[in-house]
A and B are shown apart, each in its own frame.
Chain A
Amino acid sequence: MAFSRSTLFLLLGAVIALLAVVGVSLQRETASGTGLDHLSVGHDSSGHESPGPKLPPLTAEEEAFAEALWPLHQEVVEASAGRLTSAGMTFYADDHDANRLVGKLTPLRQIFHDAQQKVAAIAVPASLQPVRDRYVALLVLYEQSAAEMMEVARDGDEGHLINAQSKSEHAAEELVKVGDVLWPGEHKPN
């Protein structure tokens, strides 16, 4: 638009240019709308597709396993997973304090280690055995990730963080997938 007006200045002279400016202003005013037509929701509701295939409901035995695992998952594992990642990010991007990093990771490593045994101790129906195995495996990954990150304090090589992050990222992906089987609806939008 500015280019057009500039061209008009050159070609058509002052009076026509002023008219063009007035015209542009009027056009913008018109385009801005009145602001009074907001009082009803008008989103396009056409073309909505049905949600994806729903998972079959869990059996009573499966529900019992999911319920038994839930407190550990919700109160311990998910929170610890976020703390592990955040600890690494804070170290790398903010404080570079290796001792502080180790101070955060030592209890987290233990949490993931202990959680493996707690999950293994929960009675599981055969149908969910693979799910439980995946859950234990992701806990192992988190434990390994914590251990690898702590190596930074030993030799100062921040390459450990990259190796550790590949493990924790895979574990986080698994956490979502396993959670989808056991607790559909556990996450809410923000």
Chain B
Amino acid sequence: MKTMVQGLALAGALGAGSLALSGATMPAQAQAPVCSVWLAEGGRFMNVPMGSFMPDRAFVPGSDNPMHNINLVDLPVNIGVIKCGNEIILADSGWKQAEYHKMTHFEHFTPLPEQLKLLGIDSADVKKIVIGHAHWDHAGQLLDFPNATLYVQREELRGVEWALNYPNPHISAVNNSPGGCFRSPACGFEPLTLEQVYGKVLKGQAVIVDGDMEISPVVFIHPAFRAHTPGSQLLEVPTSVGKLVFGSDAYSSWEGIRDWMPANIQQTDTVQQMLAYEKCYKITGGYNNCVAAHEPLTYTDKYPLTKNSWAGPNGSHFAEIALAPGEKSRHP
């Protein structure tokens, strides 16, 4: 009993202390700006072998081991739509080249400006686009956002230049070979995608980032070099559900982050990819708020951050992740 009383007293003291601290800090917390965040599914790669996406979970015929009993997966292409105050920021820009869709078992494509319109956002109002990397399925559609400034790491541009000019043709190979690109260093940097990035650079609508950068109050870029490509980068965004980190293909699989397994290995140093995972744990306090670009469970309850989802045009999906105070829900 005495112990219990002592315990209650201690709890009261701690509570009072917490109260004092909270009272001191709450006004600042209440004023800290947070952003609204939605996900838009730019399309979906269909029937991708699980083993090519996550080697540690390669399919074993007849296996009842949950690690090895999935043969094919459909991979969404997730684009982050972020609204901080009146500023609209995109995390990746998906891809557009319609001809590619027929080539790659890609379905449910809807132009990003049309998707944004359904979220009540005019593409002309998009001010910043942070591409996690410059691969063609993440840095497309740039020209549809004429007022947007592109953020790309200098390390990415240097990596592209190095890879494309490497004297060994196997290493400088581009990825239009039937059967795949075999993960060459130049893989994924298609001429048209590079042109769109270059166009932004030439028009003075690009910021070449060197490492970390605050791109607007409370929104930060963090480098994740070689976590997927030479100059991969992460985007930290504060929201009412805590900080989010968009990882593009450094975070292709949310399950991969949770289970510490590499995913979508391209120009990837798996050590750097795991360090990028760790970065999300450090910033957000866990794995739940890591936003993965191709997680098959996106828009379901099994990826809790994205469970508040609904069907979009052409079989695509949206998810509402967080709303800033006063922001109205877009969920129909």
Is B16 at the interface (CB under 8 A from chain A)? yes
Our pick among A6, A87, A176 for the contact of B30 (Cβ within 8 Å) is: A6
- Determine if A82 and B189 form an interchain contact, defined as CB atoms under 8 angstroms apart: yes
- Determine if B100 and A187 form an interchain contact, defined as CB atoms under 8 angstroms apart: yes
Is B3 at the interface (CB under 8 A from chain A)? no
Instruction: Kindly supply a per-residue 1/0 record for chain B positions 7-44, scoring 1 wherever the CB is within 8 Å of any chain A CB and 0 otherwise.
Output: 00000000110110011001101101000000000000
- Determine if A83 and B165 form an interchain contact, defined as CB atoms under 8 angstroms apart: yes
- Determine if A74 and B297 form an interchain contact, defined as CB atoms under 8 angstroms apart: no
Q: How far is the CA of A125 from the CA of B14 in the complex (A)?
A: 85
The residue of chain B having its C-beta at the shortest distance from the C-beta of A168 within the complex is B195
Give the residues from 71 to 121 in chain A that come closer than 8 angstroms, CB to CB, to chain B: 73-75, 78-79, 81-83, 85-90, 92-94, 104
Q: How far is the CA of A43 from the CA of B254 in the complex (A)?
A: 14
- Which B residues are in CB contact (< 8 Å) with A162? 202-203
Known contacts being A85-B195, A165-B195, is A38 close to B258, with CB within 8 Å? yes
Of B115-123, B178-186, B213-221, B271-279, the stretch lying at the interface with chain A is: B178-186
- Determine if B99 and A17 form an interchain contact, defined as CB atoms under 8 angstroms apart: no
Is A59 at the interface (CB under 8 A from chain B)? no
Q: How far is the CA of A54 from the CA of B102 in the complex (A)?
A: 7
Q: How far is the CA of A35 from the CA of B181 in the complex (A)?
A: 34
Is B124 at the interface (CB under 8 A from chain A)? no
Is B201 at the interface (CB under 8 A from chain A)? yes
- Determine if B300 and A42 form an interchain contact, defined as CB atoms under 8 angstroms apart: yes
Smallest CB–CB gap between A105 and chain B, Å?
12
Known contacts being A82-B190, A187-B104, is A35 close to B258, with CB within 8 Å? yes
How many Cβ-Cβ contacts under 8 Å join chain A to chain B? 217
- Determine if A89 and B178 form an interchain contact, defined as CB atoms under 8 angstroms apart: no
Is B45 at the interface (CB under 8 A from chain A)? yes
Is B127 at the interface (CB under 8 A from chain A)? no
- Determine if B202 and A44 form an interchain contact, defined as CB atoms under 8 angstroms apart: no
- Determine if B176 and A74 form an interchain contact, defined as CB atoms under 8 angstroms apart: yes
Known contacts being A6-B30, A17-B19, A176-B97, is A52 close to B188, with CB within 8 Å? no
The residue of chain A having its C-beta at the shortest distance from the C-beta of B240 within the complex is A1
Known contacts being A3-B30, A43-B299, is A32 close to B135, with CB within 8 Å? no
Q: How far is the CA of A179 from the CA of B186 in the complex (A)?
A: 19
Is B85 at the interface (CB under 8 A from chain A)? no
Q: How far is the CA of A42 from the CA of B298 in the complex (A)?
A: 9
- Which B residues are in CB contact (< 8 Å) with A73? 176
- Determine if B192 and A86 form an interchain contact, defined as CB atoms under 8 angstroms apart: no
Instruction: Kindly supply a per-residue 1/0 record for chain A positions 35-51, scoring 1 wherever the CB is within 8 Å of any chain B CB and 0 otherwise.
Output: 10111111111011101
Is B93 at the interface (CB under 8 A from chain A)? no
Smallest CB–CB gap between B19 and chain A, Å?
5
Instruction: Kindly supply a per-residue 1/0 record for chain B positions 294-332, scoring 1 wherever the CB is within 8 Å of any chain A CB and 0 otherwise.
Output: 001111111010000001001101000000010000000
Known contacts being A9-B22, A82-B190, is A188 close to B104, with CB within 8 Å? yes
- Determine if A189 and B137 form an interchain contact, defined as CB atoms under 8 angstroms apart: yes
Q: How far is the CA of A89 from the CA of B137 in the complex (A)?
A: 20
- Determine if B157 and A94 form an interchain contact, defined as CB atoms under 8 angstroms apart: yes
Known contacts being A42-B300, A43-B74, A43-B297, is A82 close to B174, with CB within 8 Å? yes
- Determine if B102 and A82 form an interchain contact, defined as CB atoms under 8 angstroms apart: no
Known contacts being A51-B102, A180-B99, is A161 close to B195, with CB within 8 Å? no
Known contacts being A9-B26, A51-B107, A176-B100, is A78 close to B191, with CB within 8 Å? yes
Smallest CB–CB gap between B27 and chain A, Å?
7
Instruction: Kindly supply a per-residue 1/0 record for chain A positions 133-159, scoring 1 wherever the CB is within 8 Å of any chain B CB and 0 otherwise.
Output: 000000000000000000000000000
- Determine if B180 and A188 form an interchain contact, defined as CB atoms under 8 angstroms apart: yes
Our pick among A6, A81, A188 for the contact of B191 (Cβ within 8 Å) is: A81
Instruction: Kindly supply a per-residue 1/0 record for chain B positions 71-100, scoring 1 wherever the CB is within 8 Å of any chain A CB and 0 otherwise.
Output: 001111000000000000000000001011
Is A185 at the interface (CB under 8 A from chain B)? yes
- Determine if B137 and A190 form an interchain contact, defined as CB atoms under 8 angstroms apart: yes
- Which B residues are in CB contact (< 8 Å) with A5? 22, 26, 30
B contact set with A: CB distance below 8 Å? 15-16, 18-19, 22-23, 26-27, 29-30, 32, 45-46, 48, 66, 70, 73-76, 97, 99-108, 135-138, 154, 157-158, 160-161, 164-165, 169, 172-181, 186-192, 194-199, 201-203, 206, 208, 240, 249, 255, 258, 264, 266, 286, 288, 296-302, 304, 311, 314-315, 317, 325
A contact set with B: CB distance below 8 Å? 1-3, 5-6, 9, 14, 17-18, 21, 31-33, 35, 37-45, 47-49, 51-52, 54-55, 73-75, 78-79, 81-83, 85-90, 92-94, 104, 161-162, 165, 168-169, 172-173, 175-177, 179-180, 183-190
30 A-B contact pairs sorted by A residue (CB < 8 Å): A2-B29, A3-B30, A5-B26, A6-B27, A17-B22, A31-B304, A33-B288, A38-B297, A39-B66, A40-B70, A41-B297, A43-B296, A44-B300, A44-B317, A49-B314, A51-B105, A73-B176, A78-B176, A79-B172, A81-B191, A82-B160, A85-B194, A89-B157, A169-B195, A169-B199, A180-B102, A186-B176, A190-B135, A190-B137, A190-B187
